[in-house]
Amino acid sequence: MSAVTIPLAAGRTRAAPPVLSPELLARMGAPGPRYTSYPTADRFVEAFGPDDYRRALAARSAGPGGAAVQPLSLYLHIPFCESICYYCACNKIVTRQHDRAAEYLLALDREVALHIEALGARPRVSQLHLGGGSPTFLSDLQLARVVSTLRRAFSFEADAEMAIEVDPRTVDPARLERLAALGFNRLSLGIQDFDPQVQRAVHREQGFGQVELLMRAARPLGFRSISVDLILGLPQQTAASFGRTLEQIQALRPDRIALYSYAHLPERFKPQRRIAATALPTAATKAAMLGEAIAVLAAAGYEHIGMDHFALAGDSLAVARRRGRLNRNFQGYTDQPDGDLIGLGVSAIGRVGGCYSQNAKTLDEYYDALRQGVLPVVRGLAPTRDDLVRRAIVMALMCQGELDFQALSDAYLIDIRSAFAAEIAALQPLAEQGLLSLDRDGVCVSELGWFFVRSIASVFDRYLQADTARARYSRVL
């Protein structure tokens, strides 16, 4: 890896690390949360329900500035897919019956109306993300209806980010043009791997030429950022085969790359039972593949944003990272300011006024709540003061890679050094391994440590430290 330095908000710099060693990956790559929230979603409780969520929405509307408060982010979950991908751990409904979407869109209309009833007239929106499942399961007319419903209910900023996850098997250049006409300006393409043998093993076959055609068509249409998803550790994957996929990705030159590590949890995710554990690459092979992938992406001009995300230097995510303005929400790293996110659709998660909420995970339960005129929230969390302080610490580490003890003490009227003495002491071994620097003023994660920032942040996770059953999480790398 070539040596680079990345400026931090506090004026510090980090030097690029050597290639990650298998020994370090084995030592630091244990399962852990992704920290799209703190506390994490597995800590949500059913005691938090629709009435609690409605109060959080009403409090936002009644707060200082009313409708003029910071714009919202919206996440809308479309659960339908035409075929099953064996690696997938998302909430999804596999069907070829496209007419099933009609009832779902009616339910979304009711859910949006209930939100506006609580929030007041047309709250401002700066970010929209359609995920799934596969949002492109919907027809063009259905997608147009969704966008129209949202635009009537919310006031979108002129430069709002409108992102949609795209299954390349369901889209052609003409359809990309129609998506652009609806206002979508960012695409996320699910690729995972280009090797035909790997694709057959995970039941997701799509050719490089198919994706290349879409990428070439998207640029002139004004999509300002195109991201792709790759998965490391799939069945039949080898260092050589994944190296070829990386070469093809470089030829496509997406703005962002998410390089996820496959988590084989067949006891939790039924589709993964079709993947034989013996077909997965060994831990040593996977570690070598990861090290090579990181080196290849760095040489190709991609900056490491955090965890498994990379972006070209000119992308807004990389710019936010360099300027210390990176944030995280349930969609992952974002250049949007830290603020409220409303989750719409089955299983969607949101955060409003510090409170977390999650919708019903099954269509029957989701539909039933909305037929009764009730927001379909089935669980959530109203954070304690301790949660809020720890959230600030976890997110500072995950997004800026540093902690300023005095600034945190002033912000929360608490002596951070004293209140978190045990956690700070637990960082010392990580400092000795070169993953961070630690002194009386604070913590600064090294460039090597940045790859293991989930593990560093987890030191401050009170719930995780009391829980030895981490098998439900994916590995850090």
Q: Residue 111 annotated as binding?
A: no
Beta strands 80-81 and 93-94 are parallel
Q: Residue 192 annotated as binding?
A: yes
Q: Residue 332 annotated as binding?
A: no
Beta strands 302-306 and 309-312 are antiparallel
Q: Residue 422 annotated as binding?
A: no
Q: Residue 93 annotated as binding?
A: no
- Are the CB atoms for 124 and 67 separated by under 8 Å? yes
CA distances from 418 to 424, 442, 459 (A): 9, 13, 15
Is the Cα dihedral 320, 322, 327, 331 positive or negative? positive
The residue type found at 154 is: F
Q: Residue 262 annotated as binding?
A: no
Q: Residue 349 annotated as binding?
A: yes
Q: Residue 404 annotated as binding?
A: no
Q: Residue 392 annotated as binding?
A: no
Q: Residue 132 annotated as binding?
A: yes
Q: Residue 51 annotated as binding?
A: no
Q: Residue 229 annotated as binding?
A: yes
Return the closest-CA partner of residue 233 out of 268, 176, 282, 304: 282
Q: Residue 165 annotated as binding?
A: yes
Q: How many CB atoms lie within 10 A of CB 174?
A: 9
- Binding-site residues for S-adenosyl-L-methionine, in ranges, read 75, 87-89, 132, 165, 192, 204, 229, 263, 349
- Binding-site residues for [4Fe-4S] cluster, in ranges, read 81, 85, 88
- Binding-site residues, in ranges, read 75, 81, 85, 87-89, 132, 165, 192, 204, 229, 263, 349
